[in-house]
């Protein structure tokens, strides 16, 4: 049985920069009336790159054991699902194929985190527009690999230069990337953790949500919680933003299949 909706972006202490285990996130979900969670901790990447902020390949079985334990413990109260948040960069495709086959995953979430050398160069050159163009090209390429069900927080460059984030100058860049993403049927996230960051609003910005809606791109909700207390946080406001952008449904993934639910139905449960 699938839940009415899920917080589909959560971490665990295995990534070394978050707190808690799936059981702790499920307990918080139960307390807050969130009917489902999909655990999506930071997956390993090739070459041990950034191993200080993610699980190792050897830890994948432990990760699955934690999720299985939470599934058992919370059965009938909170539906717990298994996912991964996977860093995408060109050249990672073979690795990603292997990860996708490494278990029965419910949700494979792709992320472009701007942690490649090319981003650093543009950052130190103070070239926000070139940086943003590179980011949106990578985001569209990630969708075009066909390896991900959805992509996370689709406007992170705004946190790099909060004072220079200029929607008008990058609208065409974003539009072209969204055209490419829409052609792949990959979903995008509305991530509620952005309100805690230097440009305090959710990701993406409302104008991007409207551009996504114009292209019929599906949206899923994620808190990106790195501590159990943030499970489901900001979801009522996120549903409101989606409505304002013209959305009537939100989506989530179970056994890597997309399920769409009416926003009204989800919002009624959230209000309780």
Task: Give the range of 44-52, 117-125, 223-231, 245-253 binding Zn ion by CB under 5 A.
Answer: 223-231
By beta-carbon proximity to Zn ion, the closer residue of 36 and 182 is 36
* Cβ neighbours, 10 Å, residue 216: 9
* Cβ neighbours, 10 Å, residue 101: 9
**Least Å from the CB of residue 85 to Zn ion:** 5
Q: Are 149 and 82 in contact (CB under 8 A)?
A: no
Residues 152-211 that bind Zn ion (CB under 5 A): none
User: What track of x and - describes contact with Zn ion for positions 72 through 91 (by CB under 5 A)?
Assistant: -------------x------
Total residues binding Zn ion (CB under 5 A)? 2
The answer to whether 224 contacts Zn ion (rule: CB under 5 A) is yes
**Least Å from the CB of residue 195 to Zn ion:** 15
User: Order of strands across the sheet with 150-151?
Assistant: 7-10, 36-42, 79-87, 107-111, 150-151, 187-191, 219-222, 249-254, 257-262
Task: Give the nearest residue (CB) to Zn ion.
Answer: 224
By beta-carbon proximity to Zn ion, the closer residue of 11 and 133 is 11
- Cis upstream peptide for 117 (omega within 30°): no
By beta-carbon proximity to Zn ion, the closer residue of 23 and 41 is 41
**Least Å from the CB of residue 1 to Zn ion:** 26
How remote is the C-alpha of 253 from its chain's centroid?
Answer: 12
Sequence-distant (≥ 6) Cβ neighbours of residue 155 within 8 angstroms:
174, 203, 204, 205, 208
Task: Give the range of 75-83, 127-135, 219-227, 230-238 binding Zn ion by CB under 5 A.
Answer: 219-227
Retrieve residue 251's tokens: 């989506």
By beta-carbon proximity to Zn ion, the closer residue of 41 and 170 is 41
Task: Give the range of 58-66, 67-75, 220-228, 230-238 binding Zn ion by CB under 5 A.
Answer: 220-228
Residues 85-124 that bind Zn ion (CB under 5 A): 85
Rg of the Cα trace of the chain?
18
By beta-carbon proximity to Zn ion, the closer residue of 182 and 233 is 233
By beta-carbon proximity to Zn ion, the closer residue of 109 and 143 is 109
Q: Which residues pair with 87 in a beta bridge?
A: 111
Number of H helices, E strands in the chain: 9, 9
**Least Å from the CB of residue 188 to Zn ion:** 14
Task: Give the range of 68-76, 156-164, 204-212, 216-224 binding Zn ion by CB under 5 A.
Answer: 216-224
User: Sign of dihedral through CA atoms 228, 197, 220, 5?
Assistant: positive
**Least Å from the CB of residue 246 to Zn ion:** 26
Retrieve residue 263's tokens: 């926003």
Binding site for Zn ion (CB under 5 A): 85, 224
């Amino acid at each position: 049985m699938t839940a009415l909706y899920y917080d589909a972006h959560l971490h665990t202490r295995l990534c070394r920069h978050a707190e808690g285990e799936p059981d702790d996130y499920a307990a918080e979900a139960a307390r807050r009336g969130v009917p489902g969670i999909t655990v999506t901790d930071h997956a390993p990447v090739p070459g041990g790159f950034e191993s200080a902020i993610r699980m190792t390949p050897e830890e994948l079985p432990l990760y699955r054991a934690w999720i299985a334990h939470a599934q058992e413990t919370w059965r009938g109260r909170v539906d717990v699902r298994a996912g991964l948040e996977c860093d995408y960069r060109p050249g990672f495709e073979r690795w990603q194929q292997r990860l996708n086959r490494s278990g029965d995953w419910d949700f494979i979430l792709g992320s472009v985190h701007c942690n490649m050398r090319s981003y650093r160069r543009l950052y130190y050159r103070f070239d926000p527009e070139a940086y943003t163009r590179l980011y949106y090209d990578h985001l569209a390429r990630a969708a075009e690999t066909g390896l991900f069900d959805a992509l996370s927080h689709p406007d992170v460059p705004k946190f790099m230069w909060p004072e220079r984030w200029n929607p008008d100058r990058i609208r065409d860049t974003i539009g072209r990337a969204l055209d490419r993403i829409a052609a792949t049927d990959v979903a995008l996230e509305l991530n509620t953790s952005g309100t805690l960051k230097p440009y305090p609003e959710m990701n993406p910005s409302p104008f991007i949500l409207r551009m996504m809606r114009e292209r019929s791109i599906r949206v899923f909700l994620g808190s990106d919680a790195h501590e159990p207390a943030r499970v489901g946080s900001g979801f009522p406001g996120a549903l409101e933003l989606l409505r304002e952008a013209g959305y009537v449904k939100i989506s989530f993934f179970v056994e890597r299949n997309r399920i769409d639910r009416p926003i009204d139905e989800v919002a009624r449960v959230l209000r309780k």
